Chains A and B, each alone.
Chain A
Amino acid sequence: MSTTTIPSTHSAADLATLLPVRKPRPIADFLSTYVFSKDHKVIGLQFLFSTLLWFLVGGLLALAVRWQVAWPWSDVPVLGKLFAQQGGQMSPEFYTMLFTMHATVMIFLVIIPILAGAFGNFLIPLMIGADDMAFPTLNMLSYWFMWPAFFAFGASFFVEGGAASSGWTSYPTLSTNVAASPGSGMGQTLWLVGLTMVGVSSMLGSVNYMTTIILMRAHGMTMFRLPMTIWAMFITAVLQAFALPVLTAAGFMQLADRTLGTGFFSPEGNMVNNTLTATGGGQPLLWQHLFWFYSHPAVYIMILPAMGMVSDILTCFARKPLFGYRPMVYSIAGIAGLGFIVWGHHMFISGMNPALGITFMVSTMMIALPSAVKTFNWLGTIWGGRIQFTTAMLFALSFVSMFIIGGLSGIFMAATPVDIFIHDTYFIVAHFHYVLFAGTAMGVWAAIYFWFPKMFGRTMNEFWGKAHFFLTFIFLNGTFFTMHILGAVGFPRRLADAYHYETFHHLQPLNAFMTWCAIGMVTSQIIFAVNFFWSMFFGPIAGRNPWHANGLEWSAPSPPGHGNFDFQPVVYRGPYEYSVPGAEKDYLMQTDPPNAAAAMAAAAAH
């Protein structure tokens, strides 16, 4: 491929002549390069490492939850030492804390930051041909605002009463009154602080992404030549900007209820555990509305970027253009737009006016439509392709496969009469684990395997990558698929001991099987961890474009230096020109200048 002759402004020779000589300041330089860096790639990697670490924490919390569900009141490994006097048996309030923090960590410290913070940061300027984000300092702050959140959530485990224990949904009056649940003391206050910090980080990020994508695209990069990753990141950023303020406000209101004695969410005379709430006159349902107004768009924030990245990966390894580019873009916009008017489907049973059950049912049913359109278009993308079964491709395919399950199970919940039965049962747990874990997390792994060469200049080991995929795929389905039928039995969520009810006695062996699969799944991630760190230092060196992909990022060096491109990128076509008839290679990069003969042949063939 040819490069233009425009000289880079960042070559060594230029730097030497342009910059004044200055005293070397090792510590300050180290800090500004690796710690408080404003380079979007470093920030992206900081997000990546932090979130992967919290992924481990969240996974271990999940294992403790699964242990109790499968073998209640038995000696818990490792954690049993905390309950030595009882012979290792965990106490029920500890269990409520476990599932609360598992969900909190996974949602706010893993999925949201890894999609937007890690991949959004790393990929957006590279994919649009910019040399960095629009606001590099703001970008750095967006990462460092996560650290107070890390401290807040981490410290909450060690305060009196333990970490928050009223579910990640924190419904009052359980969460607002310290007498209602042990974790509703300092633990819940720290939880709210952490939530606010994550919210600020996300908002700073979303402003940055929107501005960068709108204003800093390379020459020739029109909106409809953007890769799906960028469209997804862009629309996700819009979602964040509009939805987050509501959650932040609700968080402040709950903090005020807990510390300043206001009564937004507690009714008059509310007494819990023989302790009177300070004031009243409020409504618990108000929190639910405010919370879900954000948290429903949040679930789309947690999947749209993965959908975008999967589109890019599928096209690359099917060697085919994306089927239905514009419908795909409109679907993402449709999901985001409709996502703002469906929040009540989390509240069908909550005591809100049942008439709203009708309106939210209609909008919720309709939101299945754009997701269905996307799924059909992915199938259309691999149809007629030349599929390469690389690790990234396998994960991307499993995203599609698992998303079908997650999406279809959502239709049951949208049906309000059915929701009467399955609300707060394991059917719901199955649904969101399929979309979030079997969907988004698989998409995240696909993205890691795909863009690892760009991030670190080396490729990950393909054999171990496929082993990781195979084991994860088997074990996750073993853990989560049968949760659908558990839900059909009516097996409720968040119970420390469901076998207290005779009707659920016979489900213990199934739960034990699921827990074994969960243990297998978490253990299999060791393969990924070893592969990840090993390859970072000892993997085979990758060139600029090991996958022969089309995106702008693949024309930059691996890894890109400061300023990203060593030439001035100009875009001549869309991102999915694979297997163009008449071209000598099966891919045509966005930056490849048009070749007259190839262009004429392509025009003739089409």
Chain B
Amino acid sequence: MHVLTTPPFAGTDRGQQLFQAHSGGVWRAFTLVFALAFTLGCGATPPAYFRLNMVEATKQHLTTQQEEQVSTVLLAMFGTPDEPATLPEMGLDAAKLKLAAGPVRSDIVGRKNGLYREHCAHCHGITGDGLGPTSAFLNPYPRDYRPGVFKFKSTERADKPTHADLLRILHNGIAGTSMPSFALLSTAQIDALAEYVKYLSIRGETELSLMRAFFELDDDAAGKLPQTREFLVTETLAVAAAKWQGASAAQIAVPPMPADIELVDSIAKGRTLFYGEKANCVKCHGVTGLGDGQANDYDDWNKAIVEADKEVTGGERRAQEAQTSGMSPEELKEHREQIAWLEKFTRVLDGDALKPRTIPPRNLRQGVYRGGRRPLDLYYRIHAGINGAPMPAGKGTIPPEDIWHIVNYIRSLPYEFDGELGADRPLVARDRF
């Protein structure tokens, strides 16, 4: 390109030399580039792995060795995402787990494997921690199975869902959220996925118990968990698994809807109860039923992060205010360890947790019912509340016929067009368009 600054010259016309190949040099350059291209690309990604519950680990002040202990125990008991392991105490079907686990592939009979990774992992995460790549972009966040808390079920508030409850959620999805309906998968596939969810949940709860157990250890345990089967399995894993197995027994007994009353009257009664003191629905769901009563509460999963955040902020403030000058060497060491722990927790909360969101009470005028729209489902919600969410249990406070009246009232809400709740409130009308 230097020719541009020097006066132009007349090039010689050497048309005959046009087609001479400079093969040698070109081959060498070609090989070099090819080799470079391949080395960049080659090397398969290592297999998928379960991620440790870093928020809990940091909260419990676990050392790296203690974290490794937990990982080892979990690996021995539960296996890997590609190769799940089971113990009889889990009460899980290994064949179903095999169908759900591992990378997406077809086996020799053409049956699809890796169902969890194909359908669930990108939201719920490989570990079932609700931290898949897509999770940050969803509203509400996908469920974190690890605490073993599930919202929409047919059992009492504190109990686990039955297997049939899980199947129902998979089959119908959760209306108004990003959880889709998997009705178009086969029965066997939905079954396998439900089993795998239980597996991940039991694993998560076991992990939490193990991490919390360090606090209970005697000093002579030297920060090591007992390696006995009795401790690891019977006292930890089996406790979580047993709750799953006992779920069917905890199903709510639903009395029939009162037959001796007209629907219109039932709705009127329900309205009175809705606005009444006993049920006090309007406190959260609002006088208009639009869910604008209050919006300051968190569900359990977000609450844990909010509290962790508060702990970190409070700790940081205290650490800043501490007078390092008057401290003894041990106090100074503790102070520095505290600061290091706070920094670690901040990093973990940034990378391993989603930004907390408040949970708005449901807008009952929309006719979108997350846990199912049958009157039965609404009965379950009012009777047992919603586990993990601020919706309280009506059991004991509200007698069953009253629950049915409230259910009927709620089901009429999307169709109720009072004078003041008209078309000018677009969130009200069923038909927003």
In the complex, per-residue mask of B39-51: 1 if CB is within 8 Å of any chain A CB, else 0: 0111011111101
In the complex, per-residue mask of B17-30: 1 if CB is within 8 Å of any chain A CB, else 0: 11111110110011
Q: Which residue of A lies closest to B42 (CB)?
A: A77
| A334 touches B (CB below 8 Å) | no
- Report B157-176 residues with CB < 8 Å from chain A CB: 176
In the complex, are the beta carbons of A561 and B137 less than 8 A apart? Answer: no
| B426 touches A (CB below 8 Å) | yes
The smallest C-beta distance from A146 to any residue of chain B, in angstroms, reads: 20
In the complex, are the beta carbons of A84 and B122 less than 8 A apart? Answer: no
Among B19, B44, B132, B138, point to the contact of A91 (Cβ < 8 A). B132
CB contacts (< 8 Å) of A85 on chain B: these are: 48-49, 51, 126
In the complex, are the beta carbons of A33 and B4 less than 8 A apart? Answer: yes
In the complex, per-residue mask of A263-288: 1 if CB is within 8 Å of any chain B CB, else 0: 00001110001110000000000000
CB contacts (< 8 Å) of B30 on chain A: these are: 526-527, 530
| B15 touches A (CB below 8 Å) | yes
Cα(A41)–Cα(B17), bound, Å: 26
The smallest C-beta distance from B378 to any residue of chain A, in angstroms, reads: 20
A-B pair count, CB < 8 Å, reads 176
| A19 touches B (CB below 8 Å) | no
Known A-B contacts A463-B23, A540-B18, A543-B14; A88 and B44 likewise in contact (beta carbons under 8 Å): yes
The smallest C-beta distance from A423 to any residue of chain B, in angstroms, reads: 24
Known A-B contacts A540-B17, A562-B4; A275 and B114 likewise in contact (beta carbons under 8 Å): no
In the complex, are the beta carbons of A273 and B10 less than 8 A apart? Answer: no
| A577 touches B (CB below 8 Å) | no
| B255 touches A (CB below 8 Å) | no
CB contacts (< 8 Å) of B15 on chain A: these are: 543, 546, 548
In the complex, are the beta carbons of B4 and A87 less than 8 A apart? Answer: no
- Report A65-82 residues with CB < 8 Å from chain B CB: 72-78, 80-81
The smallest C-beta distance from B135 to any residue of chain A, in angstroms, reads: 10
- Report B33-86 residues with CB < 8 Å from chain A CB: 33-34, 37, 40-42, 44-49, 51, 81-82
Cα(A74)–Cα(B105), bound, Å: 8
In the complex, are the beta carbons of B20 and A93 less than 8 A apart? Answer: no
Known A-B contacts A91-B132, A534-B29; A541 and B3 likewise in contact (beta carbons under 8 Å): no
**Number of residues of chain A lying within 8 A (CB) of chain B:** 72
| B419 touches A (CB below 8 Å) | no
Cα(A34)–Cα(B18), bound, Å: 29
Cα(A579)–Cα(B282), bound, Å: 93
In the complex, are the beta carbons of A86 and B48 less than 8 A apart? Answer: yes
Cα(A255)–Cα(B133), bound, Å: 27
In the complex, are the beta carbons of B4 and A75 less than 8 A apart? Answer: no
CB contacts (< 8 Å) of B133 on chain A: these are: 83, 86, 91, 93-94
Cα(A526)–Cα(B27), bound, Å: 11
| A531 touches B (CB below 8 Å) | yes
The smallest C-beta distance from B185 to any residue of chain A, in angstroms, reads: 10
CB contacts (< 8 Å) of A33 on chain B: these are: 4-5
Q: Which residue of B lies closest to A93 (CB)?
A: B134
| B256 touches A (CB below 8 Å) | no
| B146 touches A (CB below 8 Å) | no
In the complex, are the beta carbons of A86 and B8 less than 8 A apart? Answer: no
Cα(A91)–Cα(B22), bound, Å: 46
- A-B residue pairs, 5 tightest by C-beta: A88-B45, A87-B48, A561-B8, A543-B13, A91-B133
Can you offer 25 A-B residue contacts whose CB atoms are under 8 A? A39-B4, A74-B103, A85-B51, A86-B121, A87-B117, A91-B132, A92-B122, A93-B133, A94-B133, A179-B139, A273-B138, A457-B3, A459-B18, A461-B26, A462-B18, A463-B23, A464-B21, A523-B37, A526-B34, A530-B33, A543-B12, A546-B18, A548-B15, A559-B1, A562-B4
A contact residues vs B (CB 8 Å cutoff): 8, 10-12, 15, 33-34, 39, 41-42, 72-78, 80-81, 83-89, 91-94, 161, 179, 181-182, 267-269, 273-275, 457, 459, 461-464, 497, 523, 526-527, 529-531, 534, 538-546, 548, 557-563, 566
Given contacts A274-B177, A527-B30, A529-B33, 15 further A-B contacts (CB under 8 A): A12-B7, A33-B5, A41-B4, A73-B118, A86-B117, A86-B126, A87-B48, A182-B134, A182-B137, A463-B19, A523-B37, A541-B17, A546-B13, A557-B10, A559-B3
B contact residues vs A (CB 8 Å cutoff): 1, 3-15, 17-23, 25-26, 29-30, 33-34, 37, 40-42, 44-49, 51, 81-82, 103-104, 114, 117-118, 121-122, 126, 132-134, 136-140, 176-178, 426-427, 432-433
